[in-house]
Amino acid sequence: MISIRNLSKKFGTKEVLHQIQLDYEQGKVYGIVGENGAGKTTFFRCIAGLEDYEGEISSDLTPLKNHLGLLLTEPFFFPKITGKEYLQLLCQARDVQISNMEDKNIFDLPLNQYAATYSTGMKKKLALTAILLQGNEYFILDEPFNGVDIQSNILITEIIHQLKALNKTVIISSHIFSTLSDTCDEIHVMSQGNLIKSVQKPDFATLETEIKQMTLGKKLDKLGLA
């Protein structure tokens, strides 16, 4: 379980997260939706301990960061490091020994090629493979479906289901609502650094309609396409 109490974050005088209170339970998958700049990534970075913050974040397993697999929106790769070496680096960082790396290559990535030459989707799949191999208990997946092909999308959805079955805690952000409704038990809506709503699975369809209405409004009418 991860407990978040009164989490606030400021960049200079601008408050980007405001008094967030949340509990993430074991064996559940949580989604976060919000417009670009709503504060999702900053929220994830605070949980991971990559940002200083006000408030309190606690977890059953401590320190949280040592049990957390963090998939960033745009994972950074060193030039001239192969996919296999990247996996080795991330596993060694947690002292995890992987003997049969090739067998774990579920996305069929060219592991002996430099990771910097991979496509956006391949980079995402490599970074995801690494945090799965680390054997984490908590997962934060910031837009895991972005740039990924349809086959891998299916595979990632199944991986998330399996992580849930293994009693892990998973937090996902995505701009594709169907990916969240397929995987999540609960979705939180974030707007301008505030958590404005928590929605349970039975109400996902209503939430989708609300988001559509909120987003579209009368914007299309302005274009005068008709």
Q: Which residues bind other proteins (CB under 8 A)?
A: 48-50, 52, 63, 65-66, 70, 72, 75-76, 78-82, 84-86, 88-90, 92-95, 112-114, 116-117
CB of 171 to other proteins, least distance (A): 17
Q: Comparing C-alpha atoms, which of 131, 158, 155, 154 is closest to residue 142?
A: 131
Please give the helix or strand (H or E) that residue 18 lies within, else none. Answer: strand 14-24
In terms of CB distance, is 81 or 155 closer to other proteins?
81
176-1-135-195 Cα dihedral, nearest 10 degrees: 30
CB of 80 to other proteins, least distance (A): 5
In terms of CB distance, is 27 or 49 closer to other proteins?
49
| Spatial contact of 32 and 43, defined as CB atoms under 8 Å apart | yes
CB of 191 to other proteins, least distance (A): 27
CB of 175 to other proteins, least distance (A): 22
| Spatial contact of 31 and 184, defined as CB atoms under 8 Å apart | yes
Chain centroid to Cα 141, Å, comes to 2
- Cis peptide leading into residue 79 (ω within 30°): no
**Rounded to whole angstroms, how far apart are CA atoms 133 and 14?**
38
In terms of CB distance, is 112 or 151 closer to other proteins?
112
In terms of CB distance, is 93 or 220 closer to other proteins?
93
| Spatial contact of 128 and 156, defined as CB atoms under 8 Å apart | yes
**Rounded to whole angstroms, how far apart are CA atoms 9 and 190?**
14
* DSSP-derived 3-state class of residue 17: strand
In terms of CB distance, is 49 or 55 closer to other proteins?
49
In terms of CB distance, is 130 or 160 closer to other proteins?
130
CB of 79 to other proteins, least distance (A): 6
Q: Distance of CA 97 to CAs 52, 65, 94, Å?
A: 31, 19, 9
CB of 166 to other proteins, least distance (A): 20
Token pair listed for 27? 């064996």
